Amino acid sequence: MFNMIKTTAIAALMVPAASGAFADEVEIYLTDMLDNTQVGYCVDIAGGKEYGAKVESGLQGHTCYSNLGALGVDQVFDTEKFADGILYMPNFEVCAEAAGTEAGSLLALASCDGSDAQSFVFTGEGTITPASDTSLCFTVAEETRSGRSDANQIKVLSLETCSDDLAAYQDWAVRGVE
């Protein structure tokens, strides 16, 4: 089933969208499986599944859905916006937003407004950082809880100080279903 997944490093998304080379819908996944029992953790809207997800609940790390043959509606990001530093979720017409600029800040979702809180940088190492403070990285927590079943594993997603010691929790990539 993994044959249908194409993987592209986030760094490759710095190619201008005008080239059309990467203007696709993708999931953003953690490159280390950690304790996940399926295909790893993806950036996901908290508080529901698919169109029932609750935008006001923000983002979390959640078991990826791509192994089911399609991307999860609440895990889809538009690569066309990545070159502008925007994490846009087209199915909900919202952008990721840093709820604060200190370690421990959660990641929210809001109408896209071009603010600094919605501007992110993607590095060649696969980290995702706020443009306003590149010392902070998208980080999934060590603790795991179950969702609707034990197969649905969830981790808090927050901004934490970027660190080699936390690389397994901070290294991201993208993939889409072919």
Q: Which domain, by its residues, includes 72?
A: 2-177
Nearest to 117 by CA among 104, 131, 137, 103: 131
Residue 23 pLDDT: 55
- Enumerate residues 6+ apart whose C-beta is below 8 A from 48: 54, 57, 74
When divided into structural domains, the chain yields a total of 1
Residue 83 pLDDT: 87
- Enumerate residues 6+ apart whose C-beta is below 8 A from 82: 10, 13, 14, 17, 22, 122
**pLDDT tens for each residue of 70-110:** 999 999 999 889 989 999 999 999 999 999 999 999 999 99
CATH number at residue 19: 2.80.10.50
Residue 24 pLDDT: 86
Question: Which residues in the chain show pLDDT less than 50?
Answer: 1-22, 124-125
Whole-prediction pTM: 0.86
Q: What is the 3-state secondary structure (H, E, C) of 22-72?
A: CCCEEEEEECCCCCCCCCCEEEEECCCCHHHCCHHHCEEEEECCHHHCCCC
